[in-house]
Structure 1
Amino acid sequence: MKYYRRLNPIQAMTFDLDDTFYANHPYIVEAEQQMFAFMQQHWPETASLGKPAWRQFRREVVRETPACRHDMIALRRAVLAKMFGAIGLTGDALADAISRSYDTFYFHRSHFKVPDEYVTVLKQLAHKVPLMAITNGNVDIARIGLDGCFERVYHASSTMRSKPFPDMFELACRDLKVPAQSILHVGDNLEKDVAGAVMAGFQAAWYAENRTMNLNREQAHLLPHIALDSLSELLQLI
């Protein structure tokens, strides 16, 4: 554990999920591969579109509906609507294709388990302070083994902007009924988690599961309060 700033007494903790408890990118890649395979199996015309069209439609959705950039569910479903619209689907057939394809993606996106040692640490922490999760993603908490670890999980959406915007931090602070300076946020991303938390008045702990932690290799303009060598070190702070 390395300290960069003085810590106030901790009365509550919030946690990022993706890349903090698990390496997220491989699961997203696998889920997209499964989704495209499902689409091509059931709607062969989509094979001629492929990932270039997907990326183009994604840019169009974000340009047309900027709020979608904060809502991964709405964004992906909107891109699917454009993909299937491009092959001529409309009405109930379009809605069915979007639903089944998104469900395929979401199943594989959450098709893993968080390591048992992380679950053990969270349960030990929860006996001492309230815990909440703040995520820009949409992983299924129950399926990955974190069900019951947090009092509440906040997901970015079209009405609640993603980190580093303060929306979810401020809502968590209100729901916790704890001063922001007494909350420790734990996350892997030095911009979205660390800077976002600090700018919202929280304290910040840097911890990444998906990569070797080296500040010299990271883009950051704010230091965390602490950098952790293991998640279990949080137990020493309360």
Structure 2
Amino acid sequence: MRFYRQLQPFNIISFDLDDTLYDNRSVIAEAEKQFLCELQRLAALPHLTVESWGQVKRVVAVANPLIMEDVVHWRIVALERLLTQSAVSVGKIDTIISQAMAHFIHWRHQIALSPQTKATLDSLAERYPLAVITNGNVDPKKIGLTQFSLCLRGGEHGRAKPHFDLFAQTAAHFNVRSDQILHVGDNLQADVQGAVQAGCQAVWLNLNSDSLLAHQQSRNLPHVELTNLKQLLLLA
């Protein structure tokens, strides 16, 4: 545990999800694999590859960079573009999109939470209201996380982190000042920079024991650096 700023009393704890409360890399890799296989089947596109799908997403993002802040909408728009370009019957496009998205969301939620993570959140929830502020598309309740009384997702509820929007909404929801929110996340830009610039306090969950100096793109120091989630109990 390392302190970079003086930690003030806080009333709310908010959390990032992906790569903070679980390892997201293997989950998203498998979800993308299963999504692509299902899309190949539904749309009769056996030669569709990861590269060609990625290229379609990039074209959509170049045309509208803000769309990347809503990962669900971005995927849907890219799907519609891909199917249209592939001369899929117009009457089938909506059905294919709906089925492909449902398949992806199913695999996106195949997340194994550690008992320690659940126990830590249970303990914190006895003392503080807990919230989720995420740029991803995971529904906490679908993976067994019922400790949160608020869940805000970038794109659906406002501008994605590091924009201040979701942090400000969290403060308004709980009727507290921004500095009474302690935000916990793994990303020095989205989570730490976003929280600090919004006036909140920030915990950098450094699960990989990275050097802070290796993240020169980050403009703000966290208040505290932790190397495992359970250390939060020492702050609460």
Q: Same fold (TM over 0.5)?
A: yes
Cα shift readout 1:69-109 (whole Å, capped 9, x = no counterpart):
11111001111111211221243310011111111111111
Q: How far has the Cα of 1:12 moved from its partner?
A: 1.0
Cα shift readout 1:204-235 (whole Å, capped 9, x = no counterpart):
001144x3333233342211000113212222
Q: How far has the Cα of 1:56 moved from its partner?
A: 2.2
What corresponds to 1:213 in structure 2? 210
What corresponds to 2:173 in structure 1? 175
- 1:66–1:158 distance in 2 versus 1, CA, 3 Å: farther
2:188 aligned residue (190, 214, 234): 190
Q: RMSD of aligned C-alpha atoms?
A: 1.6
Cα shift readout 1:101-126 (whole Å, capped 9, x = no counterpart):
11111111111222121111111111
**% identity of equivalent residues:** 35
Q: Is the Cα–Cα contact under 8 Å of residues 130 and 151 in structure 1 kept in the other structure?
A: yes
Do structure 1's residue 67 and structure 2's residue 66 form an aligned pair? yes
Gaps in structure 2 of 5+ consecutive residues: none
| Partner Cα separation in structure 1 for residue 85 and residue 149 of structure 2 | 42
What corresponds to 1:237 in structure 2? 235
Q: Is the Cα–Cα contact under 8 Å of residues 22 and 111 in structure 2 kept in the other structure?
A: no
Q: Given the two structures, how large is their TM-score scaled by the length of structure 1?
A: 0.92
| Partner Cα separation in structure 2 for residue 50 and residue 171 of structure 1 | 39
Q: Is the Cα–Cα contact under 8 Å of residues 21 and 208 in structure 1 kept in the other structure?
A: no
| Partner Cα separation in structure 2 for residue 86 and residue 51 of structure 1 | 16
Identify which range, 155-164 or 185-194, moves more after superposition: 155-164
Gaps in structure 1 of 5+ consecutive residues: none
Identify which range, 111-120 or 52-61, moves more after superposition: 52-61
Q: How far has the Cα of 1:158 moved from its partner?
A: 5.7
Do structure 1's residue 95 and structure 2's residue 94 form an aligned pair? yes
SS in 2 for 1:48: coil
Task: Give the total of aligned pairs.
Answer: 235
Cα shift readout 1:138-181 (whole Å, capped 9, x = no counterpart):
013123221x2111100011661110011101100111111111
Q: Is the Cα–Cα contact under 8 Å of residues 31 and 109 in structure 1 kept in the other structure?
A: yes
| Partner Cα separation in structure 1 for residue 157 and residue 133 of structure 2 | 15
What corresponds to 1:10 in structure 2? 10
| Partner Cα separation in structure 1 for residue 59 and residue 194 of structure 2 | 27
Q: Is the Cα–Cα contact under 8 Å of residues 10 and 237 in structure 1 kept in the other structure?
A: no
Large movers: runs of 4+ above 6 Å? none
| Partner Cα separation in structure 2 for residue 52 and residue 121 of structure 1 | 39
Q: Is the Cα–Cα contact under 8 Å of residues 43 and 88 in structure 2 kept in the other structure?
A: no
Q: How far has the Cα of 1:65 moved from its partner?
A: 3.2
Identify which range, 213-222 or 108-117, moves more after superposition: 213-222
SS in 2 for 1:119: helix
| Partner Cα separation in structure 1 for residue 156 and residue 132 of structure 2 | 18
**AA matched with 1:206:** W
SS in 1 for 2:94: helix
Q: Is the Cα–Cα contact under 8 Å of residues 61 and 78 in structure 1 kept in the other structure?
A: yes
**AA matched with 2:212:** L
